[in-house]
């Protein structure tokens, strides 16, 4: 009779799953992953699969629920990787089709297409992720704009101070006034 490996430590019921995920992500070859995917999709019982995982990977998933959770994780991960690959292909196409677009315009169009695809497929979980990514991108853009505005304000105050201090020198005053006027016009745009 084989010695039974402990699946978990006390207080951590998903340690076996964590180890399995780490092996899957970091050290398992594509061929082995494909083998396990085919086993997960076959008519083999959970008990047989758990015994096979114990024999080949030395991971003891004591309950069927743990194997079910892992199988769902593999499906979700595969779906996410396929989605990311599709978005990268779409990004490359957009850059080729619209060479004059800025990075922000390309990103906005990608987010729009991604949310639209999620809506059409009624994949609301991925749609929520797409909306979160869109909100994070907009938050970053707003923070960037606020930073640039604060820098312009600092520059304006600095130029105003220089104009006051350079009042005794008409040539320098004219240069500062021209720079200040140019900055105000740029800010108005």
The model's pLDDT over 148-186, given as tens digits with 9 standing for 90+, comes to 787 777 777 776 776 666 665 677 667 767 877 887 787
What share of the chain has pLDDT > 70, as a percent? 84
Whether residue 72 has pLDDT greater than 60:
yes
> Where along the chain do its domains lie?
1-85, 147-188
- 14 and 66 Cβ atoms separated by less than 8 Å: yes
Confidence of residue 107 (pLDDT cuts 50, 70, 90): confident
Confidence of residue 3 (pLDDT cuts 50, 70, 90): very low
What is the C-alpha separation between 123 and 117, in angstroms, rounded? 8
Helix 103-121, helix 64-97: angle, nearest 10: 130
What is the C-alpha separation between 43 and 61, in angstroms, rounded? 19
User: How do residues 12-30 score in pLDDT, each as one tens digit?
Assistant: 544 688 888 888 988 899 9
Confidence of residue 6 (pLDDT cuts 50, 70, 90): very low
* Residue positions counted in the chain: 189
Of 69, 50, 70, the closest CA to residue 61 belongs to: 50
Distances (CA, A) of 64 to 49, 78, 104, 178: 9, 21, 46, 76
């Amino acid at each position: 009779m084989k010695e039974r490996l402990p699946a978990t430590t006390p207080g951590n019921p998903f340690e076996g799953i964590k180890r399995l995920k780490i092996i899957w992500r970091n050290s398992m070859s594509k061929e082995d992953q494909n083998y396990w995917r085919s086993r997960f999709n076959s008519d083999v019982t959970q008990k047989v699969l758990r015994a096979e995982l114990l024999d080949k990977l030395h991971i003891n998933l004591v309950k069927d629920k743990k194997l079910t959770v892992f199988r769902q994780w593999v499906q979700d991960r595969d779906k996410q990787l396929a989605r990311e690959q599709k978005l990268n292909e779409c990004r490359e196409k957009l850059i080729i089709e619209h060479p004059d677009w800025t990075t922000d315009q390309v990103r906005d169009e990608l987010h729009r297409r991604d949310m639209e695809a999620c809506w059409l497929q009624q994949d609301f979980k991925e749609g929520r992720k797409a909306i979160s990514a869109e909100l994070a991108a907009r938050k970053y853009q707003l923070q960037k704009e606020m930073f640039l505005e604060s820098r312009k304000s600092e520059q304006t105050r600095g130029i105003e101070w220089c104009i006051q201090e350079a009042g005794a020198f008409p040539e320098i005053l004219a240069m500062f006034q021209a720079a200040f006027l140019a900055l105000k016009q740029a800010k108005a745009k």
